[in-house]
């Protein structure tokens, strides 16, 4: 799928955020800290109709819990 820009939502530590940028620097990167987890995602996405990506480690995903991630990300499936 071609995207004019991609929005990345970092739910885990990611030390090379610049690596997520394309050549035109058109991507947007959100660092979502655990204390802001609900508010930031509610206000800004991610959305199914856009080119959005969520970056989370397996350990953090297990810590948040599958139900919490599904609810807060608006996911209808796995």
Cα separation, 47 vs 51, in Å, equals: 8
| Contact by Cβ (8 Å): 12, 33 | no
- Provide the whole-model pTM: 0.71
Residue-level pLDDT at 10:
84
pLDDT tens by residue, 5-41: 888 888 888 889 889 998 889 998 888 766 666 665 6
pLDDT tens by residue, 40-49: 566 666 776 6
3-state secondary structure 20-31: HCCCCCCCEEEE
User: For the chain, what are the domain ranges?
Assistant: 7-73
Residue 77 — pLDDT band, cuts 50, 70, 90?
A: very low
């Amino acid at each position: 799928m071609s995207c004019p820009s991609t929005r990345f939502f970092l739910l885990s530590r990611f030390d090379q955020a610049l690596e997520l940028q394309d050549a035109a620097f058109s991507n947007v990167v959100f660092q979502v800290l655990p204390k802001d987890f609900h508010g930031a995602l509610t206000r800004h996405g991610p959305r199914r109709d856009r080119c959005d990506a969520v970056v989370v480690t397996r350990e953090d995903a297990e810590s948040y819990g599958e139900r919490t991630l599904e609810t807060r990300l608006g996911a209808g499936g796995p």
